[in-house]
Chain A
Amino acid sequence: MKVVVISSFLLCLSVLIWKSETSSINYLEQSQLTESIKRGQIVYNNFCMRCHLPDGSGVAGVYPPIANSNWLSEKRTESIKAVKYGLKGEIEVNAKVYNNMMSPMGLSDQEVVDVMNYIMNNFENKQKKPVTLSEVQDIKK
């Protein structure tokens, strides 16, 4: 419970900070993002959490971290692609090499949007630009 309270507080806080920084995003987009993040948390807990863990820290050398991840912040398209189609082979995350395989999760495009928005706005990640449905739809194998 405590974790939920704290993480919702952090979530609100990060959304507030984020909002104050991005005047170009209107209120409607803002509330859509909040809803997307909320749905994304359910997707994360159901499909990602067992390997990447509830705090996104992953397992050193086995499952790369999502928390504070340079891969996520620097490789937006590859990140979406990995969630949409799976990922295989060597990647470097936070200066550590991972060589594993993540099978395709079979998520709908909307679920990919939601879980991306969730992880990009949690676990110490701050992504200003929300992931949109058309962005996910445009990413091909």
Chain B
Amino acid sequence: MKLFLSFCFAFSLLACAQEDTSITVIENDYEYEVITDQVNMPWGFDFFDDGRIIITDKSGEVYLYDDENTTKLSGFPEVYNRGQGGLLDVKIHPDYPKNPWIYFTYASIEGKAKGGHTAFARAQLTGSQLIDFEVLYKASPNTTKGVHFGSRIEFDHQGYVYISIGERGERDVNPQDISRDGGKIYRFHADGRIPNDNPFVNEDNAKKAIYSYGHRNPQGMEIHPKTGKIWVHEHGPRGGDEINIIKKAANYGWPVVTYGINYSGTTITDETQKPGMTQPIHYWVPSIAPSGMTFVDSNKYPHLNQNLLVGSLKFMYLEHLVLADNQVVKREKILDKIGRVRSVEQSPDGFIYVGVEGVGLVKILPKS
């Protein structure tokens, strides 16, 4: 099997890695309903228990959907809207409203150097206003490069909050160096303090918020509903997008090991694995450009239940990954050709919502 896979891998590299032959299209695709088309680039969204949805638009606008209206919220500072940067993810504290904070990641110009880097902040919602805006972390140094800001936010069951930050187009400088920001998963207390059992708190010069490193550009992060583990996916270069289960202090290898190659077709490294570097549980060749991820834990979609959904920006579908023992055993396209899928989440009442660039926020309709 391994030999076969490596053969397929080698062959797909030869075939310019564009044709994706290991995925099927679902028979009898799901129908969907457009919930709001007022958000052009729905980068991230989250649900209040009363059914309202808060949505970020890459341009820097935050929206609140309340069943009838989509309202623009005021109070979010200007974002660095350049290349892949802009307003990124949003996450409501799991104990809301007891804990009233709403968390955001975005590209920010804060800091001395020209350009921008990813920031992590929180604010509270009152009416249609975000108030008490507070920056919890700002990666540095800024750069005018337009790529790899990340970012997703997720809470675990212990109350820690995790964020991802991409390597900002500096693959040979940032991801393997824990004294530098970028190419990392970070862990915080919900108030932004750095936990004193974070893995590198006692290392000189380390960025103490780092939880794992060796990442490229993670734009999907989700807690597993049963195991409570944090799952992350990241964009590879040409080939080599990955799904990883995050472990404390682990090195995920970029760019020392990768299943991808340079965009030009030249080799980055011959190594796909090395001791001390954690292997992904799944990798994509060719790249699908994954963004957004959710586990389905809902009896409304028996076909999808207990599996993983990942958006494909590149091929414009939602990918259904059938899981067995933490391994991907089957891949299937759903919502084929809907548009660039940026974000996907399950609502508290068990419906799947999908953010699609140029379309808006849509709800997948269960099959009757």
A-to-B contact residues, CB < 8 Å = 3, 46-47, 49-51, 53-55, 59-60, 62, 88, 100-101, 103-107
A54:B264 contact, CB within 8 angstroms: yes
Inter-chain CB contacts under 8 Å: number: 48
B169's contact among A46, A59, A100, A101, by CB below 8 Å, is which? Answer: A46
Contact A47-B146, Cβ < 8 Å, known A62-B316, A100-B340: yes
Q: Which of B81-89, B268-276, B320-328 contacts A (4 or more CB under 8 A)?
A: B81-89
A108 to B145: give the CA distance in the assembly, Å: 13
B-to-A contact residues, CB < 8 Å = 18, 41, 58-59, 80-83, 85-86, 145-147, 169, 263-265, 314-316, 339-340, 357-358
A59 to B265: give the CA distance in the assembly, Å: 14
Question: Nearest B residue to A57 by beta-carbon distance?
Answer: B16
B314:A59 contact, CB within 8 angstroms: yes
For residue B145, which residues in chain A have a CB less than 8 angstroms away from its CB? 46
B339:A101 contact, CB within 8 angstroms: yes
B314's contact among A47, A62, A101, A105, by CB below 8 Å, is which? Answer: A62
For residue B264, which residues in chain A have a CB less than 8 angstroms away from its CB? 3, 54-55
Question: Nearest A residue to B145 by beta-carbon distance?
Answer: A46
Question: Nearest B residue to A49 by beta-carbon distance?
Answer: B263
24 A-B interface contacts by CB (under 8 A)? A46-B147, A46-B169, A47-B83, A47-B146, A47-B147, A49-B263, A50-B147, A50-B263, A53-B263, A54-B263, A54-B264, A62-B314, A88-B358, A100-B316, A101-B340, A101-B357, A103-B58, A104-B81, A105-B82, A105-B83, A105-B146, A106-B80, A106-B86, A106-B146
A51 to B357: give the CA distance in the assembly, Å: 16
A62 to B314: give the CA distance in the assembly, Å: 7
A42 to B266: give the CA distance in the assembly, Å: 19
Interface centre among B59, B85, B264 (most CB of A within 10 A): B264
For residue A50, which residues in chain B have a CB less than 8 angstroms away from its CB? 147, 263
Question: Nearest A residue to B359 by beta-carbon distance?
Answer: A101
B358:A106 contact, CB within 8 angstroms: no
Question: Nearest A residue to B357 by beta-carbon distance?
Answer: A101
7 tightest Cβ-Cβ pairs between the two chains A and B: A106-B82, A101-B358, A54-B264, A106-B81, A47-B146, A101-B357, A88-B358
Interface centre among A50, A53, A54, A88 (most CB of B within 10 A): A50
Smallest beta-carbon distance A10→chain B, Å: 15
Question: Nearest A residue to B41 by beta-carbon distance?
Answer: A103
For residue A59, which residues in chain B have a CB less than 8 angstroms away from its CB? 18, 314
Can you name 6 extra interface pairs (CB under 8 A) apart from A46-B83, A62-B315, A106-B83? Answer: A3-B264, A47-B146, A50-B147, A54-B265, A103-B357, A107-B82
A59 to B263: give the CA distance in the assembly, Å: 12
